[in-house]
Amino acid sequence: MMCAGCIAKIEHGLAANAGIISARVDFGAKQVRIAHLPEVELPQLVTMLDRLGFAAHPLAEAPPPDAEQRRLVSALAVAGFAWMNVMLLSVSVWSGAAGASKDMFHWLSALIAVPAIAWAGRPFFVSAWRALRRGRTNMDVPISIGVTLATAMSLYETATSGQHAWFDGAIMLLFFLLAGRVLDGAMRARARAGASALMEASAPGATILAADGSTRWVRADAITAGATMLVAAGERVAADGRIVAGESAVDASILTGESAPASLAVGDHLLAGMLNLGGPLTVEVTAAGEDRTIAGLARAMEDAGQHRSRYVRIADRASRLYAPAVHTLSVLTFAGWLLAGAGIYEALQIAVAVLIITCPCALGLAVPVAQVVASGALMRAGILVKDGSALERLAEADRVLLDKTGTVTLGRPQPVDLDRLRPEDRPAALALAQASTHPLSRSLARALAADGVVAARLSGVAEMAGEGMTGFDSDVPVRLGRPHGATHGDGSHVAFARGEGVQQIIVFADCLRPEAAAAVAGLGQLGLGSTLVSGDRLEAVSPVAHSLGITAIAEARPADKQALVERLGQGGARVLMAGDGLNDGPALAAAHVSIAPSSASDVGQQAADMVFTGDSLIAIPRAVRAACATQAVVQQNFLLAIGYNVLAVPLAMAGLVTPLIAALAMSLSSLIVVANSLRLAGVAK
Amino acid sequence: MTGLVFLIPIALGMGLIGLVAFQWALRSGQFDDPDGSALRILVDDDEPDRIL
């Protein structure tokens, strides 16, 4: 989807089909939401979009609308409105309004600020209360105490027509902090939309053969054991089962990491998630839904991901020190002034001024602004970061585990020696390859088109399942497909033949991603040692490891990978796991931080903290470098915020801070922190 | 001073109108797909779909 024309074409084009009630495009997320009659089935919708010229992937499930973010934006708007109006009144007081008009301005401020604080401060109050109830503190505790005390004292001041009211300070604080939260949420929402747009539901369903011979499309979660399922060439298997008819080459790399397709025949077992490369298969379902092997892996992943929630983000770690320090300081101030002979009221006033001036305004912005700017830069470089804590964890990583198939390699077969195909045969081969959806054909078509070959005009092109494509090039029959003869049994060879001529064999193999060696070297320079972990055979793994100059572990099952990650973690290493397949899922979830290519299975993308688009592996060291730079800026921001406190707190403790000074100091320190964070805009270059 | 009696309610009222308008826009989903909305203005919905 590129432009307004595409939106109109999709929406009007879909609506013109029978059975479609409405279609609505979400351009930002690159999704279309279709309301249709029950008789229209999923594959038909994909075909309709295909006919309009758009490749569509059904989403496994529709993402729920983001209510949390909406609430935050709405609170931010309220705080902004109240802040501006209270500030207007405060400025008049500061510039000398006195007597009855000052009291009136204070009352008006109270009228605006108190409901606004109650409404806009709710996210902080709720989170602080939740933390306190469990006997912990977080950043929201000092914020809530500061804001509540400041509001209460200002109300008292207003009622007794006192000198200073702090309504503007309290609401300004909420505004800045809410801005930080909204930015944080926007980053997560953007990454989630991006990741789900890339997400390809591996097999949303299957064609089920009923007892009376009719076929019907059934969603994966509605398939039951004992049913008979038809799996066409190029389709993913939706449920575990046993082959009852047909034979074919099957790509099981999603489950095992094994790159070479396996030849399966009647009686062999198929697992959900495998890709059928050859002929059509009839499969008797033995396990569906939650009983599938694939679902078991998903559960293992969920368990392994539990430790993530125990990770304490840097802002909360800072607040563990910060909150007690601030509260001690203001209690000391209160006691000090009492001892020095001031009245209770005066001492309380100064103690509250200390609380307000130390309220973590800049601290609340220090982390989210830096992370939002950095993740925006990374997104432009093709790396989606799912949340801010992923950047923090990535900066801490000191060890890399790389999966082979699909991560270090492209995970799709590439023609190895195209030169063996005679130049005069290439246009015809391209024309045949383009007409097929078989993975080898698509790969061949891509490679030939990249070489500048123009497809020949063929007539009578037909696909014979399991055999290949045939057609006529100016009345000479041409064929592209499974090689004849016993020597080339497996699925990674394709033969092209013209007329009665000799068949030309094209060999396919999985290649390294571009810049894979440079990426591993770059990671080494950053102090991260790499190890290759693969489910593939040793003979397939060792040449890859050799060319990258790293050690390798072969024939690792999913549980082995997870165990390795956990063992390294217990040894004190912080592991960055890079993997793509379902077999990497548990390891991705168990690792300290993880990254997956966008070509990964949806399970892999969901388990990983980051997803990189594009083929080049150089994205991994780039992301690590950006994360380190972000962490450096976050630390600078903390230093700036603490430096500001070091300057302002003695003033506040001496009782010299007025609301005017507090307002100036808070906005200035926030601006400096934001400006410092903006330096990260070019971090992903 | 009497001017304030009119000016302050007017200023606050105008601010409130803006706030309410924003909340309404937010709630009715006008900020859900900003890129799409920017392009939709170019889509001619009045034309019947003759070409398609």
Q: Find all residues with CB under 8 Å of A119, minimum gap 6, and list them.
A: A75, A78
Q: Tell me whether residue A218 is exposed, middle or buried, using C-beta atoms within 10 angstroms of its C-beta: 0 to 12, 13 to 18, 19 or more.
A: buried
B20 touches chain A (CB under 8 A): no
- pLDDT for residue A266 is more than 70: yes
Q: Which of A10, A31, A56 is the last residue of a domain?
A: A56
The reply to whether A223 and A283 lie within a common domain is: yes
Give the distance from residue A74's alpha carbon to the nearest chain B alpha carbon, in angstroms: 6
Of B1, B23, B33, nearest to A27 by CB-CB distance is: B33
**Domain-by-domain residue ranges, chain B?**
17-44
Judged by CB atoms closer than 8 Å, whether chains meet at A74 and B26 is answered as yes
A78 touches chain B (CB under 8 A): yes
pLDDT for the residue numbered A78: 93
From the list A103, A403, A425, A602, the catalytic residue is A403
What SS3 state is found at A529?
A: strand
Mean of the pLDDT values across residues A285-305? Answer: 70
Give the angle subtended at the CA of A325 by the CAs of A320 and A330, to the nearest 5°.
Answer: 135
Of B1, B19, B43, nearest to A8 by CB-CB distance is: B43
pTM for this model (two decimals) = 0.72
Tokens linked to A186: 């926007």
Judged by CB atoms closer than 8 Å, whether chains meet at A81 and B39 is answered as no
pLDDT for the residue numbered A200: 42
A29 touches chain B (CB under 8 A): yes
Strands in A459-464's sheet, in edge-to-edge order, are A409-415, A504-512, A493-498, A476-481, A468-473, A459-464
pLDDT for the residue numbered A201: 43
pLDDT band at A487 (very low <50, low <70, confident <90, very high): low
Is residue A297 within 8 Å of residue A249, measured between CB atoms? no
Q: Which is higher by pLDDT, A490 or A683?
A: A683
Of B1, B34, B36, nearest to A7 by CB-CB distance is: B36
Q: What is the CATH number of the domain that holds A14?
A: 3.30.70.100
Between helix A293-304 and helix A558-570 the angle, nearest 10°, is: 10
What are A425-457's pLDDT values in tens digits?
A: 888 888 888 777 676 787 888 888 878 788 888
The reply to whether A642 and A531 lie within a common domain is: no
Of A3, A12, A28, nearest to B49 by CB-CB distance is: A12
Range of the domain at A244: 204-237+240-291
- pLDDT for residue A597 is more than 80: yes
The reply to whether A399 and A416 lie within a common domain is: no
Percent of chain A with pLDDT over 70: 88
- pLDDT for residue A115 is more than 90: yes
The reply to whether A127 and A162 lie within a common domain is: yes
Is residue A669 within 8 Å of residue A641, measured between CB atoms? yes
What are A299-344's pLDDT values in tens digits?
A: 666 666 666 556 667 777 777 777 788 888 888 999 999 998 888 8
Give the distance from residue B23's alpha carbon to the nearest chain A alpha carbon, in angstroms: 6
pLDDT for the residue numbered A307: 60
**Average pLDDT in chain A:** 80
Of B1, B31, B39, nearest to A27 by CB-CB distance is: B39
Of the residues A2, A3, A25, the best mutation for testing chain B's interface (the one with the most B CB atoms within 10 Å of its CB) is: A25
Among A212-216, A290-294, A323-327, A397-401, where is mean pLDDT lowest?
A: A290-294
A85 touches chain B (CB under 8 A): yes
Q: Find all residues with CB under 8 Å of A146, minimum gap 6, and list them.
A: A170, A173, A355, A356, A358, A359
B42 touches chain A (CB under 8 A): yes
Mean of the pLDDT values across residues A565-586? Answer: 83
Which of A56-60, A361-365, A370-374 tops mean pLDDT? A370-374
- pLDDT for residue A541 is more than 80: yes
Mean of the pLDDT values across residues A281-289? Answer: 84
Q: In whole angstroms, what is the distance from residue A179 CA to residue A75 CA?
A: 10
How many whole angstroms from its chain centre is CA A331? 44
Mean of the pLDDT values across residues A401-413? Answer: 81
Q: Which residues of A touch B32 (CB under 8 A)?
A: 26, 65
The reply to whether A578 and A643 lie within a common domain is: no
pLDDT for the residue numbered B47: 52
- pLDDT for residue B45 is more than 80: no
H or E segment to which residue A588 belongs: helix A585-590
pLDDT for the residue numbered B51: 45
A307 touches chain B (CB under 8 A): no
Chain A residue with CA closest to B39: the answer is: A4
pLDDT for the residue numbered A79: 94
Is A319 within the bounds of a domain?
yes
Give the distance from residue A276's alpha carbon to the nearest chain B alpha carbon, in angstroms: 36
The reply to whether A224 and A337 lie within a common domain is: no
Give the distance from residue A561's alpha carbon to the nearest chain B alpha carbon, in angstroms: 40
The reply to whether A638 and A586 lie within a common domain is: no
ipTM of the modeled complex: 0.79
- Give yes or no: A403 in active site: yes
A120-123 long-range contacts, Cβ below 8 Å, gap at least 24? A120/A75, A120/A76, A120/A78, A120/A79, A120/A82, A120/A171, A120/A174, A120/A175, A120/A178, A121/A147, A121/A174, A122/A75, A123/A71, A123/A72, A123/A75, A123/A178, A123/A181
Restricting to A residues 57-76, those with a Cβ less than 8 Å away from any Cβ of B are 65, 70, 73-74
The amino acid at residue B5 is V
Q: Which of A455, A482, A510 is the last residue of a domain?
A: A510
Among A410-419, A632-641, B7-16, where is mean pLDDT lowest?
A: A410-419
The reply to whether A366 and A273 lie within a common domain is: no
The reply to whether A47 and A84 lie within a common domain is: no
The reply to whether A251 and A333 lie within a common domain is: no
Judged by CB atoms closer than 8 Å, whether chains meet at B4 and A101 is answered as yes
Looking up tokens 């100016």 gives A474
Is A62 within the bounds of a domain?
no
Percent of chain A with pLDDT over 90: 7
pLDDT for the residue numbered A61: 53
The reply to whether A386 and A535 lie within a common domain is: yes
Tokens linked to A264: 């399966």
Q: In whole angstroms, what is the distance from residue A446 CA to residue A456 CA?
A: 15
Q: In whole angstroms, what is the distance from residue A180 CA to residue A79 CA?
A: 13
Give the distance from residue A461's alpha carbon to the nearest chain B alpha carbon, in angstroms: 28
Q: In whole angstroms, what is the distance from residue A176 CA to residue A235 CA?
A: 51
pLDDT for the residue numbered A628: 92
pLDDT for the residue numbered A114: 94
Q: For residue A148, how many other CB atoms are within 10 A of its CB? A: 17
Q: For residue A570, how many other CB atoms are within 10 A of its CB? A: 8
Dihedral angle of Cα A424, A426, A429, A435, to the nearest 10 degrees: -130
- pLDDT for residue A529 is more than 80: yes
Is residue A607 within 8 Å of residue A301, measured between CB atoms? yes
* End-to-end Cα spacing for chain B: 67
Mean of the pLDDT values across residues A605-610? Answer: 78
Q: For residue A675, how many other CB atoms are within 10 A of its CB? A: 11
pLDDT for the residue numbered A465: 63
Q: Which residues of A touch B52 (CB under 8 A)?
A: 9, 12-13, 16
pLDDT for the residue numbered B52: 45
Of A8, A70, A81, nearest to B19 by CB-CB distance is: A81
The reply to whether A78 and A165 lie within a common domain is: yes
What are A149-208's pLDDT values in tens digits?
A: 889 988 988 888 877 888 888 898 889 888 888 887 777 666 665 554 444 444 567 788
3-state secondary structure A536-556: CCHHHHHHHHHHHCCEEECCC
Q: Which residues of A touch B22 (CB under 8 A)?
A: 77
How many whole angstroms from its chain centre is CA A681? 19
Mean of the pLDDT values across residues A239-268? Answer: 76
Q: Give the number of domains in chain A.
A: 5
User: Nearest Cα to A561, choosing from A538, A591, A540?
Assistant: A591
